[in-house]
Amino acid sequence: MKFLRLLIAVSFVASFAAYANDIQVQDGYIRAVPPSAPVTAAFMQIHNQGDQARALVSASSAAADAVELHTHTHVDGVMQMRQVEKINLAPKSTTHLQPGGLHIMLIGLKAPLNMDDKVLVNLKLDDGSLIELNLPIRKVAGQGQMHDQHQPAHHQHMKHQHMKHQPMNHQHMQKQGQPH
């Protein structure tokens, strides 16, 4: 009887370890931002090689006051960022965390991030397992110095090509008695 219990326990632990090993992360990095920026984002590819759906339920890092899972959605032709409860990881697939899509926000950076730095980020999966990542700081392609200087920190990593930009009507504002 003791042998049977031990065999069941060992089988359970072995299957749990294999299940946790079905998730792999590749090409992870944190977006470089100006030293005064209070936020940045982490991007990566998460591969679920298993046969069961999984989910990334949270992330944490000592480099920031808060770490949240986010996505971008198009609402009336405007791209908006919002927090999500989890990021689903479909079986036998790759989920891309990338600029303009799903990503991990690091909010309230505790110190400036330099290009040679690496930041420890922990991912928590729906089964309670943790994946520890040591992510490099990287400049995102197309990220120019002027872009960084004039964009508010909360959406520096957004793609802007699908956003509606309407010219401001200063004459209308003057008629309303408001300064321009």
Q: Would 15 be classed as within a structural domain?
A: no
CA distance 165 to 171: 18
pLDDT interval class at 1 (50, 70, 90): low
Does the predicted model carry a pTM greater than 0.85? Answer: no
- Phi and psi, residue 19, nearest 5°: -65, -45
Give the burial class of 75: count Cβ atoms within 10 A of its Cβ; 0-12 exposed, 13-18 middle, 19 or more buried: exposed
The total number of structural domains that make up the chain: 1
Q: What is the pLDDT of residue 2?
A: 52
Q: Would 153 be classed as within a structural domain?
A: no
Q: Would 131 be classed as within a structural domain?
A: yes
**Token pair of 31, please?**
């977006």
Q: 7 vs 10, 17, 52, CA distance in Å?
A: 5, 15, 24
pLDDT of residue 16 exceeding 50, the answer is no
pLDDT digits (tens, 9 = 90+) for 119-156: 999 999 999 999 999 999 999 876 544 333 333 333 33
Amino acid at 168: M
Question: Smallest Cα–Cα separation from 30: which of 116, 88, 95, 110?
Answer: 116
pLDDT digits (tens, 9 = 90+) for 23-37: 999 999 999 999 999
Q: What is the pLDDT of residue 152?
A: 36
Q: What is the pLDDT of residue 169?
A: 38
What domain range includes position 35? 23-146
Tell me the CATH number at 113.
2.60.40.1890
pLDDT digits (tens, 9 = 90+) for 63-122: 999 999 999 988 898 989 999 999 999 999 999 999 999 999 999 999 999 998 999 999
Q: Would 12 be classed as within a structural domain?
A: no
pLDDT of residue 158 exceeding 60, the answer is no
Q: Would 174 be classed as within a structural domain?
A: no
Q: Would 11 be classed as within a structural domain?
A: no
Q: What is the pLDDT of residue 174?
A: 39
3-state secondary structure of 46: strand
Q: Would 162 be classed as within a structural domain?
A: no
Residues 41/106, Cβ–Cβ less than 8 Å: yes
Q: Would 155 be classed as within a structural domain?
A: no
